[in-house]
Amino acid sequence: MTYSRRIRPSMHIVHTIADLRAALAGRGRPAFVPTMGNLHAGHLSLVAQARPLGDVSVASIFVNRLQFAPHEDFDSYPRTWQADCDALQAAGCDLLFAPRESDLYPQPQTFTVQPDPQLDGMLEGHFRPGFFAGVCTVVMKLFSAVFFASGGGTAVFGKKDYQQLMVIRHMVQQFALPIAIVAGETARAGDGLALSSRNGYLDAAARSRAVQLSQALRALADAALQPGADLAALEAHALQTLSAQGWEADYLTVRERSDLSPPVGAPQAGQLVALGAARLDGTRLIDNLEF
Ligand SMILES: Nc1ncnc2c1ncn2[C@@H]1O[C@H](COP(=O)(O)OP(=O)(O)OP(=O)(O)O)[C@@H](O)[C@H]1O
Ligand SMILES: CC(C)(CO)[C@@H](O)C(=O)[O-]
Ligand code: BAL
């Protein structure tokens, strides 16, 4: 009897920008998925989406201190190195870039990439000042590392971080970076909760209530499309509902998908997104729903 068995080639792991550039030389155009690790099925769906979009699939794992405010969870952010490597290897990722802080930031990063003030001044940018500058700065650096050898390629970002995706698209457009930005749909748990590394902070009781955020967004979106809907009143009602359920909400709002501005006139189906950020038992979760 003969057996045929497909063995996936081993994923190559590099830690420095120089090693990454050397590993990518002559390999064609990368399809890249940046992450902060603690990988879940949402991240792996982005890797699966990325693989056919390039000649070589690249993921990065780096918990970027620059995008965390001093009171935020940089120190406690879950770091699950071996499980992440195993998951990426099983997902068919070709190359993992996992820089140490001293590899990516050998000197204090005094030159930063500042996002457009209007987009940065609302929603996540408003509630997490400095967050998008930290994200843009590290993503610019990761792009420089990953796309140097090929002169361009594709990067995949999740819609779960809706405003982040928009900020990155804007950065790529304004700096004329030769990189196609592709959006990945939000992977959800069976009850509808958006998968997120920070879900791991929730105890069993909080986890069972966490779906209330996506339910609030669904109810807000449905109500917004009723004739004569008063968006301000509906948003206030959604905030009250979540608050009565024990959440502390930063925002629950309906925006235009094109630029995240508040809709003017009657809400138009197919062009809107309901976005929310709220804390449950001290854990800050975000979610959104296009409608
Ligand atoms: N549920 C999801 N479905 C699809 N993509 C996702 C999901 N969650 C995160 N991503 C995407 O994965 C990439 C890396 O995100 P990150 O490592 O911050 O994961 P995260 O789960 O969002 O973590 P956190 O809980 O810290 O926000 C981003 O492009 C993000 O939008
Ligand atoms: C894009 C990113 C990897 C930059 O650190 C991070 O913000 C994330 O995981 O979404
Ligand atoms: N998921 C986006 C990265 C962050 O919240 O820090």
3 state SS of 126: helix
pLDDT of 228 over the 50 cut? yes
Model confidence pTM above 0.90: yes
Instruction: Give the model confidence (pLDDT) of 96-110 as tens digits.
Output: 999 999 999 999 999
Q: Where are the domains of the chain?
A: 12-184, 197-290
pLDDT tens digits for 4-20?
Answer: 556 678 999 999 999 99
SS3 187: coil
> What backbone phi and psi angles, to 5 degrees, belong to 285?
-115, 150
Cα gap 193→88, rounded to integer Å: 23
Q: Mind listing the pLDDT tens digit for each residue in 112-168?
A: 999 999 999 999 999 999 999 999 999 999 999 999 999 999 999 999 999 999 999
pLDDT digits (tens, 9 = 90+) for 200-218: 999 999 999 999 999 999 9
| Separation of alpha carbons 33 and 28, rounded Å | 16
Distance from C-alpha of 232 to C-alpha of 238, rounded to nearest angstrom: 10
pLDDT value at position 1?
43
CATH 3.30.800.10 fits 12-184, yes or no: no
pLDDT computed for residue 7 by the predictor: 67
158 lines ligand 1 (CB under 6 A): yes
Q: How far, in Å, are 8, 11, 25, 29 from residue 52 at the CA level?
A: 16, 16, 19, 11
| 43 included as an active-site residue | yes
- Please check the confidence at residue 273 and state whether its pLDDT lies above 60: yes
| Distance in Å, CA 190 to ligand 3 centroid | 22
Do 12-184 and 197-290 agree at the fold level? no
**Is 224 in contact with 244 (CB distance < 8 Å)?**
no
Residue 224: the pLDDT is 97
**pLDDT tops 50 at residue 196:** yes
Q: How far apart are the first and last CA of the chain?
A: 55
* pLDDT of res. 157: 99
What percent of the chain stands above pLDDT 90? Answer: 96
Q: Which residues pair with 191 in a beta bridge?
A: none
Task: Classify domain 197-290 at the CATH class level.
Answer: alpha beta
| Cβ atoms of 274 and 221 closer than 8 Å | yes
Which protein residues touch ligand 3 with a CB less than 6 Å away?
Answer: 67, 161, 164
| CB atoms inside a 10 Å sphere around CB 188 | 16
Q: Which ligand lies nearest the alpha carbon of 34?
A: 2
45-58 tens-digit pLDDT: 999 999 999 999 99
- Angstrom CA distances, 106 to 17, 151, 177, stand at 11, 24, 24
Q: Which residues make up each annotated binding site for (R)-pantoate?
A: 67, 164
Location of structure tokens 């359920």: 245
In whole angstroms, give the CA distance from residue 137 to residue 139: 6
Q: Which atom of ligand 3 is nearest to the CA of 160?
A: 1
**Phi, psi for 179 (deg, rounded to 5):** -130, 125
